[in-house]
Chains A and B, each alone.
Chain A
């Protein structure tokens, strides 16, 4: 196997400093939003007693899913022994850490009492999947740090596959936990389904790979590192498979609900009469996030173009965001069925609403975007400090073994 040279990014260019400045600005905006939400209370957000989880949760769960999925590349190289992916494994593990930190920051700053972080870390109700997730998320960061260290430290190379396997299993459990946050909600018709766990796993895989490809393209563009078509081809094909995988689980989820008479109401709401949720499902998730990227990735006319790979990745992310919005917000917007067989004619608490309205406030969006900014900032900083990027990814620099 040919040795791969890793290097740090120079980090002295104007582009680097401008990038860091822009990201710092977005992080500060997010902190400002969090301060205001803490100071004035959640009254300044679009969330209320009906829609209790809003835009920050979409961003946070997106980042957490992407963090788990972005480890695909490292897992394929160490667990499935496809050395072709080895040069990218370090970046993959780094992104898993930084994306998770970004996601958790948003989740933490949205809490009603973010100052009680210590309480969250010391009081555990082990029946709560949320409590388990706190352990799973922290454990994942620790394992990824170990993974990255073993990859970089020659003396630890022999343990590298073991820790790779651990990280692989851990992230499957982690995403199962994230999906189960919703799957375990017995009262919410749109959420209460065991398929949420595998659906979230599939979604994490596609979102993670899409984020990885975008970061790779940006890095190679920014650092002028040559990037061969060969190294892009395989992940690109895999991305298509993963997008189709998500579609399969979404299809089964809806078919199951359509089969249950009791859930026809919520299905009609999401698929036909839900306004923004219906538009986001068909237009955002299905058309923009599934059909279009598949066309871009597999159609003979676009498949060889680098722009189409970048665009397909971006669309996958847009599709994932739309799907999460439909699942998380749409699931709350559809009223609870507290009195089966009865029509609610009046209520002091919006029980009679056909849909609970929600408009995200700018504070929530600022907080959500800051999560992405935190991830990007940490990634850029790490790439400047540690040799995580291969010096070249040109086809000519990739050994025959890699091509296998």
Chain B
């Protein structure tokens, strides 16, 4: 028996169906995206790791700039600019002990502090520390105020003073923003165990002055070494607990 539906019922059904379909169309992708963003995926950054470096200054050769050169090539820091505005993600510093007169040199870069003053002062949160201890700058929200450069005790940051060309796809940089050593985060995240460029270059020359790894992993070489030898944190008095330590340096 055919049931004749009244126009009112027809309209009601139509509205019901439309609402359900529209609701699902709007909400479902949102739920999907949320679940994707919340899903744990292998290799996600976690605080179970802390990337760090141990630099043996007795193995660091004076006059050798292989680490700084490797960094320049890796990140495309090749712009020809005045020395005072040149980007310096890593630099070599020559030192002499005031008491003993002993001379030595060491590479100096962002120390990837546990309590970084640069992230404390950054007004927008562009300077941030990842869960695995790497201190980075989000170039999308850096406003170029340079307060982090004022705050860094290691003078580890540079400001991009000029327009850049020929940037490397894995190292986005931008005029008017601040940058620093990122521990070659692209290698860590997507390099399948590749070490930072400076460490790799130092190893290749046979100096092996730079040891990189997870300082929380009891099986890692750096973990074992840090337990075995005495190491120094620069400006330890500030209690920043840097991820970069120096072996053979007494301050």
Q: Which residues of A contact B (CB under 8 A)?
A: 38, 40-43, 48-50, 52-53, 111-114, 116-117, 119-120, 123-125, 127-131, 134, 181, 184-188, 332, 336, 338-352
Q: Tell me, rounded to whole Å, the shortest Cβ–Cβ distance linking B50 to chain A.
A: 21
Contacts of A41 in B (CB 8 A): 160-163, 175-176
Residue in A53, A125, A347 whose CB lies within 8 Å of B123 = A125
Contacts of B153 in A (CB 8 A): 186-187, 336, 338
Residue in A38, A49, A128 whose CB lies within 8 Å of B88 = A49
Contacts of A43 in B (CB 8 A): 81-82, 85, 161-162
B159 on the A face (CB < 8 A): yes
Residue of B whose beta carbon sits closest to that of A340: B251
B207 on the A face (CB < 8 A): no
Contacts of A344 in B (CB 8 A): 93-96
Alpha-carbon gap, A352 to B92, bound state (A)? 11
Per-position contact with A for B177-212: 1 when CB-CB < 8 Å, else 0? 110000000000000000000000000000000000
Q: Tell me, rounded to whole Å, the shortest Cβ–Cβ distance linking B127 to chain A.
A: 8
Which 5 A-B residue pairings sit nearest by Cβ, starting from the closest?
Answer: A112-B144, A112-B176, A187-B153, A346-B94, A48-B84
B235 on the A face (CB < 8 A): yes
B120 touching A128, Cβ below 8 Å = yes
> Interface-forming stretch among B2-10, B19-27, B98-106, B222-230?
B98-106
Alpha-carbon gap, A346 to B105, bound state (A)? 9
14 contacts between A and B (CB under 8 A): A41-B163, A42-B159, A43-B81, A48-B82, A48-B84, A49-B88, A113-B144, A119-B141, A339-B251, A344-B94, A345-B95, A345-B103, A348-B91, A350-B83
Alpha-carbon gap, A128 to B127, bound state (A)? 11
Residue in A40, A112, A114, A125 whose CB lies within 8 Å of B159 = A112
Residue in B121, B152, B158 whose CB lies within 8 Å of A129 = B121
Contacts of A332 in B (CB 8 A): 150
Q: A40-B162, A112-B143 are in contact. Are A339 and B176 (CB under 8 A)?
A: no
Residue of B whose beta carbon sits closest to that of A345: B94
Q: Which residues of B contact A (CB under 8 A)?
A: 65, 68, 81-86, 88, 91-99, 103, 105, 108, 117, 119-126, 141-147, 149-155, 157-163, 175-178, 234-235, 238, 251
Q: Tell me which of B103, B105, B141 has the highest count of chain A C-beta atoms within 10 A of its own C-beta.
A: B141
B159 touching A49, Cβ below 8 Å = yes
Contacts of A38 in B (CB 8 A): 176
Q: Tell me, rounded to whole Å, the shortest Cβ–Cβ distance linking B236 to chain A.
A: 10
Alpha-carbon gap, A372 to B126, bound state (A)? 31
A111 touching B121, Cβ below 8 Å = no
Q: Tell me, rounded to whole Å, the shortest Cβ–Cβ distance linking A145 to chain B.
A: 24
Q: A129-B121, A338-B235, A345-B94 are in contact. Are A188 and B150 (CB under 8 A)?
A: yes
Sample of 13 more A-B contacts, CB < 8 Å, known A53-B146, A343-B96? A48-B82, A53-B150, A111-B145, A112-B144, A123-B124, A125-B125, A129-B121, A130-B122, A134-B123, A184-B151, A338-B234, A345-B96, A351-B93
